[in-house]
Structure 1
Amino acid sequence: MDIKISSYIQHYVGPSQSYYNAQNRFDSILKYKLGVYKEDKSLTDENVIFDHDDKKIENNEGSAVFSDNPKVSKDSFYPVKPLAKTVGSILINGILDTTDVRKKSNYSAEYLNSKLAGTPLAGLGEDFKRAEDLYGINSIVLMSMAKLESDFGRSKIAMDKNNLFGYQAYDSSPYSSAKSYSTKKDSIYDVAKHLSNNYLTPSGDYFNGYSVDAIGLKYSTDVSWASKVKKIASELIKA
């Protein structure tokens, strides 16, 4: 039996204006109140893609150096193009997804700066954000590590050597062995690259997985290191 429809729906114009107004208000709250940007699905990829930048970090004389550490000029430290694609976004309800530190935070540099205000790291939010984009390391996790290792730049190693992460500060001689940097932001990029090359690449010397716990197995001799980083991260993303 054939059924013929002799009438049709008229005057349908799609969602109402109030729908779009509500959506715009929600986006505005995310962006300006919480500092969170909606994830751009066109940039996502199941795998983080790393390239090799041509610019290197200049090692200060007398500092200990890992074979994979880059050497760059003091005046020009930043690679020209992004080195990593996002693999997702973190939660925004006060709980950080620490099972994969390659996931971008989606927090703006302005929001990160608000968390660094009043500390020796004030104004470095842009560098934590850029390190996240370049090397695929969650900016909140990086900031949490800096908070734990140097109290946001207040430790002696941080003040004297611009080393925010206790990088190469071995237990037997933490101050003398800790690497020196020309600027604090050099420390951010160097450690971010070291983590991506050695902790988050399956062929890396210290690879155990992508979580904060996996990094902590080889990054620190403190068995509570991962728990401390996660606690700080949770505090940083609370409104």
Structure 2
Amino acid sequence: MRQIVLDTETTGLNPRTGDRVIEIGCVELHNRMLTGNNFHRYLNPDRDSEEGALAVHGLTTEFLRDKPRFAEIAQELRDYVQGAEVIIHNAPFDLGFLNAEFKLLGLPTFTEHCSSVIDTLVNAKEMHPGKRNSLDALCDRYGVSNAHRKLHGALLDAELLADVYLSMTRGQNSLSMDMEEETTSDGVMLEVVPLADTFVLAASADELAEHEGVMKGLDKAVKGECIWRNYASA
């Protein structure tokens, strides 16, 4: 399965009032493994960032002035995410901006290029109700180092989120950690995973004798046969 962990930085909070995307960072996962095939672009929004947003990301108008505009990288981004499952923290925010950028260019929405979207903020709230579930809080909870995160950056945040997502969903892995193939059952994609080799150690004669002694003691305590005898018979 191909997944893209995505984050954006923007000039403000609302694309409906003209705020724009100024940075896109994407990290690729294939079968839950980082591939190194990342996507990262700074963008010239043709406007200044709001003071609050600038304090968060630190990307000044001067720094962005010679960067490409969204229209120049749109096709490259479309090709990169095509058909992938996209993972975002607080997805409505980023999707709202990306869909608005695509709409300005007369293109299908960003979400139409993806197979599905996972919102890790929604997942985190379900797993940890009543707790802080910001990216920084999740990094602390799952032991992902974010000591180098002084300002928000789209690629850095996508890399951190990838580590957090893999930690949050670690229970989905098999013992072997390698997925073999996917099949479809009633329209649902299922992962077929080979189990790691397992070994069964039979109890020794001494251990069986010791176990029987414990069982007899339990029989005596209940003045009959203890419940564990039923499981032994089965």
Smaller-chain TM-score range?
under 0.3
Question: TM-score, normalised on structure 2?
Answer: 0.24
Question: TM-score, normalised on structure 1?
Answer: 0.24
